[in-house]
Amino acid sequence: MRISDKQKQMLAFIETFVGKNGYPPTHEEIRAGLKISTKSLVNYHLEALAGASLLSRSPNTPRGIRLANEREPFTVPLTSSPMLLDNSADFDEQDVVELTCDIVSNTPDLYALKVQGDSMMDALVNDGDIVIIQRQNQAKNGELVAVRLLEQDCTTLKHYYRENGHVRLQPANPTLEPILVKPTAVQVEGKVMAIIRQVS
């Protein structure tokens, strides 16, 4: 079944929205985002997309749109890097992790990090787990992030806090002390979006 240019535009809008937010848009968000005059027109185009098997809809659900390819697997590069102060390896194109969108939205700025060490065990991040990281160079207080310590040239996984003129990298292990550094001594590499647990 052929779809119109407007319907292709709507499908692209929904895919982008889901990729950015992790959930589908409401009819009103579609209407406003695409500058469509009425919700009935939104419904018409959604019905056409559903008829073309490009999405499915749950009646009486505000965010009841599901893309047909939403659960198709995708891969992200995997690197092995300790949580403590060991050098992180470069990405190997042969090492990848397969994911689906019910774990994390498929965006081009994701990578997987294999955890070594127990500094975040109270955050339920254990040795051997795999964390999915979204590349970004800023962090909010309390976020679990991968941070590069520039002087040591190493990456660590910690809760990030910026306070009193310095950065505190807080482990989730009561036996370990926080790392206190100047803001210029660290570089945020990404935020943890998901954890894949390894069962021994």
For residue range 54-94, list pLDDT tens digits in order.
898 887 788 899 888 666 678 888 875 533 323 344 444 45
State which of 33, 67, 101 marks the end of a domain: 67
* Residue 86: per-residue pLDDT: 35
State which of 48, 67, 86 marks the end of a domain: 67
pLDDT band at 191 (very low <50, low <70, confident <90, very high): very high
Supply the residues annotated as catalytic. Answer: 119, 158
Give the pair of three-digit tokens for residue 54: 């490009």
Q: Are 162 and 142 in contact (CB under 8 A)?
A: no
**In terms of domains, do 183 and 153 share one?**
yes
* Residue 73: per-residue pLDDT: 76
Asked whether the CA dihedral 138, 142, 146, 151 is positive or negative, the reply is positive
Alpha-carbon distance of 147 to 136, in angstroms, equals 10
Q: Are 40 and 31 in contact (CB under 8 A)?
A: no
**In terms of domains, do 59 and 82 share one?**
no
Q: In this structure, what CATH number is given to the domain that contains residue 53?
A: 1.10.10.10
Residue whose tokens read 């990405």: 91
**In terms of domains, do 169 and 98 share one?**
yes
Give the pair of three-digit tokens for residue 16: 């982008």
Domain limits for position 114: 74-196
